[in-house]
Structure 1
Amino acid sequence: MSGASLDEVLKTAWARARAVWGRAFRQLKLFLATAEHTWRRSLQVRVVTLTLVVSSLLVAVFAYVVAYRSSTILLNRAKDSVSAQLDYGRSYTELQLKIFGKPFEPNVQGTLQDIVFYLGGGDSQDPSAGLVVVRADNVNELSAVPSRKGDITGLLTTDITGVVSHGQKATAIRSADLDRTGMVKYLVEGTPVKTNFGQIELYYIEPLTTQDSAATQIRTTVLATGATLVLLLGLLSALVTRLVVRPVRVAARTAQRLSAGLLDQRMAVTGEDDLALLAASFNQMAANLQRQIVRLEDMSRLQRRFTSDVSHELRTPLTTVRMAADLIFAERERFPADVTRTAEILQTELDRFESLLTDLLEISRYDAGFAMLDAEPTDLVPIVHRAVEPLRGLAERCGVPLEVDVPADPVIVEADPRRVERILRNLVGNAVEHAEGKPVVIRLVSDGVAAAVAVRDHGLGLKPGEEKLVFNRFWRADPSRARQTGGTGLGLSISLEDARLHGGWLEAWGAPGQGAQFRLTLPVRAGDRLSGSPLRLVPEDIELAAVTPPVQPRAITQTPAELPL
């Protein structure tokens, strides 16, 4: 095979391996995502899983404790039995060897064999039986005698024989293959035996096959019982959780239908338990909520109709009064001073009353859903100037400088110019009213997707939470303050509805002593959904002040609420 073909084969194999690993990784990722979604959405899965995990841990700990205690008890019993046999064997050996004074006397080796034969249970060669060994390493004339054949070098190691040779008992557990049938665990115990011709060693080697088998059976039984118990607990928790979760799911679905406007939805009530009481209470709450909503809708409908009818009906007498007031106002120079002042006050209040009627009619159109948007490509730059110029006289009287920052190029959006101009006029007038003699900055920015106009003042500002209340009808931050303009209290409410009609945003930010900023954001193309604004809601000078501390810091009595940028 050539080098080029080998490279191609390796590349193909590598590509296939990468494809297989990629599919496996995607499958694993999909499985984890599905498992996470199920874990987050299903209370029953979480309860059953936690029950299985906790019960498995408890069963595992219990099985370990039982197995450990069982093995310990069986081993202790084996040790006690071997220790008793060893003590008896030592006494028996000492008694049998008491008649000998020298190791080279006749029958000493034979007596040792007889002792081992007796203590080892006769001529039994059962592998499960114990093994008795007599060693006489300290006596050169004698050799070791085991009760049956087998390689005991792996059992009588130096750490055991060394202790016994120094006149002490020794106990150990060793594994060896005495009969060439596999490794077996043995309990080895040894003791020194005192004789007239010196010290010899007596060892009992007991196989622990029975004890290990019993411990294994106990461990298997406990694990099988525990696994069965865990499965039963999981099944029981699933059934119990289902009994509890199912009515909750039904209640959640019913609540979703209620929130979607299907006020006639109810839960089925079965039985007399706590869940039945929950269903009955939920149905009672839904019925009360339905009655309240219907009542409020009727009241709101009557209120809107009353406002609309009154506004329309007042137009005719207002026109008549306006004609008479205009005639008196035009001839006011011919009247005494007090009558002249009365004519001027009458003219001012009629203007305010007419403005109030106009705003009420506009609000009634929004409430009735009759407001229409006449969107057309519009340049916002001249609209900003048209909204600001009529208010310059009021700003000069209040001592408030107006600063307009607009791009040199046109900013074209699909909007209703009349409504946009009305929004900006309300925002600028409101800013002049609360500027406290400090500059008001109007800024226009566009990023091609959305256009935003920000009106910034440096007056009293807003308290935390008031940035939402400013758009409520007839709401005022400080009712005790004297107003410079004859506002109706509906300007910001109408502006908010105008912005929503465009699919835009009208938002407010403010902090005590740091002024306020209102931001109008409109989509460049009508019908597009806004995802952001080219202007930040929190003014840049506030952020710079937070980053760079002033030379002479001033205590702030109240921290402004955190607002989205």
Structure 2
Amino acid sequence: MPSSPKKRRRTPRQVVRGVRRRARRAAGGVRRVWRRSLQLRVVTSTMVISIAVVAVLGVFLMQQIIATTLQDRERAARSEAQADRNAVLGYLNRPSGDVSKPSVDSGDGLQRGGDSPLSQAVYALAGRAGAVPRYSVIARNDNQPGEFFVTPNIDPRSIPSGLREEVSKKEAGEDSTHYGDLYYEGRREPVRGMVIGTRLDTSGTMLDSGYEIYHLIPLDKEEETLNSVLRMLVAVGAALVLLLAAIASLVTRQVVTPVRLTRQAAERLAAGRLDERLKVRGEDDLARLATSFNDMAANLALKIHQLEELSHVQRQFVSDVSHELRTPLTTVRMAADLLYDAREDFDPMAARSAELMQNQLNRFESMLADLLEISRYDAGAAELDVDPVDVRDVVLRAVADSEALAERHSTRFDLRLPGEPCMAEMDSRRVERILRNLLFNAIEHGEGRDIVVSVGADRDAVAVAVRDHGVGLKPGEENMVFDRFWRADPSRARTIGGTGLGLAISREDAVLHGGWLQAWGAQGEGSQFRLSLPRVAGAPLRGSPLSLVPPEVEMRRTWRGHMTPVLSPAVADGGNDAD
């Protein structure tokens, strides 16, 4: 049994690149969805704003609840502490023999105790706090540093040194409050709580002034209550945000759905389905939009139908006239040929008239041929006769046909052909006609300067560029040159006698091949026309092997862009003039 091929292990760098590629793809998908979905943007914006508002309100409410809860608890604790201090003063002001020790076990949690008045007072406070103490008490006597008493299980570490210093600095009877951790014996984790400390006001009594008493109030129940309130606020806030998002989605959908339907109808209308209409419901703005859309579609369909009929009539008229003119033109041609051949027997005026008639008949026949060709394109009857040919041969034949005209205008061709064959599937007759039209156009507008003809090829396409150094084109004229009977300068006389349809037919020929015919031009720098065709007939054309802008122009512009910032205005202007 043959062994299965081992999978090639990917390197860490390849893994990282793959992750980045997937991340970029996912981010691109999210951006596309974000840009295309109005409803998603509205709902997301509503959720973000709602979360911000709910968060701010929640924080404000929580702060108010916490402040109110702690204030109420502190007020109650201060009241109880004041009552306890009065009770302690009563115990401390009695003779020790008048106070009986409470009947409690030794395991009640009191520490360092005996029958002293301070111990008896703390016993009494333990009874006031109840079976489950609401608070704990630590009592001290500064005159006897080792004497302090605490109620059950409280650890003296609960009183920070900073609080003791603050209590010692204040007047007797004034409270000092501290929020912190309370430590209990037998319990690992501390409890958040509040400590209220004061020095007893023993003025007017027989006692010294060294007594301090600290009430330690645990806030665990309040903390549990606040945590419950916080969880409730979070749950209510989340529910409110989701509810607002649902409301925003519902409201947005009521607006977006008609707009989406209108967009889909507009796309179908643009695709040629002129019978597309929207359903009108109600009398609101969206209903009026649908009505206006339907009226626009109806008027557009009517106008298109009228234009189609007019265009059909025009095409039929051009075709009929072109065919009908062939018969009288043939008769006139025969008579003109006889007159032209016998012009040497005529007087000079008549001979010149025969020559002019011959030239104009030639132009008229050319125009009729172009009109017939245009009518075939308009009727969709043009077809290709495709064969694999070498583009260089087609270019050489077109140049050969243009040599005589170029010599009359003192123009020379500069051919830049590759050394290897440039094979492509094309209708050589139509491509040769395109090139002849481009060469004739370059000769007429090249002002006698050299015309550069370049051929390029890559794996998918071939291209031919015809470059002249004449007057050039104004901005925006790159596409207008292919319009029928268009002339850049109407006052400029035709030196070749073209029909005005050559470039229009050339573009139709290029489109019929699935290619491009493009123009570039700038005043004072001449113009360039580029024909790009796919190597395989019917294949899509994605690019051209030749640049539309001449390389020397591109290089000069790049050089100017780099050099102008470092040159003075006068030098820069002088350089431009030199160009």
How high is the TM-score relative to the length of structure 1?
A: 0.85
| Number of positions where the alignment pairs a residue of Structure 1 with one of Structure 2 | 533
Supply the distance in 2 between the matched residues of 1:31 and 1:496 (Cα, whole angstroms).
41
Asked if 1 retains the 8 angstrom alpha-carbon contact of 2:470 and 2:527, the reply is: yes
Query: Equivalent of 2:135, from 105, 130, 136?
Result: 130
Supply the distance in 1 between the matched residues of 2:525 and 2:157 (Cα, whole angstroms).
90
Find the residue that maps to 1:462 and give its secondary structure.
coil
Does structure 1 residue 72 correspond to structure 2 residue 67?
A: yes
Q: State the Cα deviation string for residues 379-413 of structure 1 (Å, max 9, x = none).
A: 22232122123333333333333212223444332
Asked if 1 retains the 8 angstrom alpha-carbon contact of 2:167 and 2:198, the reply is: yes
Distance 1:476 1:23, change over 3 A: closer
Asked if 2 retains the 8 angstrom alpha-carbon contact of 1:427 and 1:518, the reply is: yes
Q: State the Cα deviation string for residues 200-257 of structure 1 (Å, max 9, x = none).
A: 2221211223432332232222222222222221222222222222222222222222
How high is the TM-score relative to the length of structure 2?
A: 0.83
Asked if 2 retains the 8 angstrom alpha-carbon contact of 1:86 and 1:191, the reply is: no
Does structure 1 residue 154 correspond to structure 2 residue 157?
A: yes
Amino acid at match of 2:144: N
Find the residue that maps to 2:200 and give its secondary structure.
strand
Does structure 1 residue 140 correspond to structure 2 residue 144?
A: yes
Q: State the Cα deviation string for residues 125-176 of structure 1 (Å, max 9, x = none).
A: 314x12232212x212771123x21232331122222322334753221223
1:120 deviation in Å? Answer: 5.7
1:542 deviation in Å? Answer: 1.2
Distance 1:495 1:216, change over 3 A: same
1:260 deviation in Å? Answer: 2.2
Aligned counterpart, 2:268: 257
Supply the distance in 2 between the matched residues of 1:197 and 1:95 (Cα, whole angstroms).
14
1:71 deviation in Å? Answer: 0.6
Amino acid at match of 2:194: L
Find the residue that maps to 1:467 and give its secondary structure.
coil
Query: Equivalent of 1:55, from 38, 46, 50?
Result: 50
1:429 deviation in Å? Answer: 1.0
1:284 deviation in Å? Answer: 1.1
Supply the distance in 1 between the matched residues of 2:521 and 2:20 (Cα, whole angstroms).
50
Distance 1:193 1:418, change over 3 A: same
Does structure 1 residue 402 correspond to structure 2 residue 413?
A: yes
Find the residue that maps to 1:492 and give its secondary structure.
helix
Supply the distance in 2 between the matched residues of 1:32 and 1:456 (Cα, whole angstroms).
45
Query: Equivalent of 2:177, from 141, 151, 171?
Result: 171
Asked if 2 retains the 8 angstrom alpha-carbon contact of 1:193 and 1:200, the reply is: yes
Query: Equivalent of 1:112, from 110, 115, 118?
Result: 118
Distance 1:108 1:215, change over 3 A: same
1:519 deviation in Å? Answer: 0.7
Asked if 2 retains the 8 angstrom alpha-carbon contact of 1:71 and 1:211, the reply is: no
Amino acid at match of 2:357: L
Amino acid at match of 1:233: L
What percentage of residue pairs aligned between the two structures are identical? 45
Amino acid at match of 1:377: P
Distance 1:222 1:434, change over 3 A: same
RMSD (Å) for aligned C-alpha atoms: 3.4
5+ residue gaps in structure 1? 1-10, 16-20, 101-106, 558-565
Amino acid at match of 2:227: T
Supply the distance in 2 between the matched residues of 1:334 and 1:343 (Cα, whole angstroms).
11
Q: State the Cα deviation string for residues 38-85 of structure 1 (Å, max 9, x = none).
A: 444433333333323332332233222211221122112323333444
Aligned counterpart, 1:197: 208
Aligned counterpart, 1:500: 511
Within a 5 Å distance, the mapping from 1:8-47 to structure 2 comes to: 38-47=33-42
Aligned counterpart, 2:441: 430
Distance 1:31 1:352, change over 3 A: closer
- Which shows bigger deviation, 238-247 or 80-89? 80-89
Find the residue that maps to 2:226 and give its secondary structure.
helix
Within a 5 Å distance, the mapping from 1:323-338 to structure 2 comes to: 323-338=334-349
1:99 deviation in Å? Answer: 8.2
Supply the distance in 1 between the matched residues of 2:17 and 2:415 (Cα, whole angstroms).
58
Find the residue that maps to 1:442 and give its secondary structure.
strand
1:355 deviation in Å? Answer: 1.1
Asked if 2 retains the 8 angstrom alpha-carbon contact of 1:90 and 1:191, the reply is: no
Does structure 1 residue 539 correspond to structure 2 residue 545?
A: no
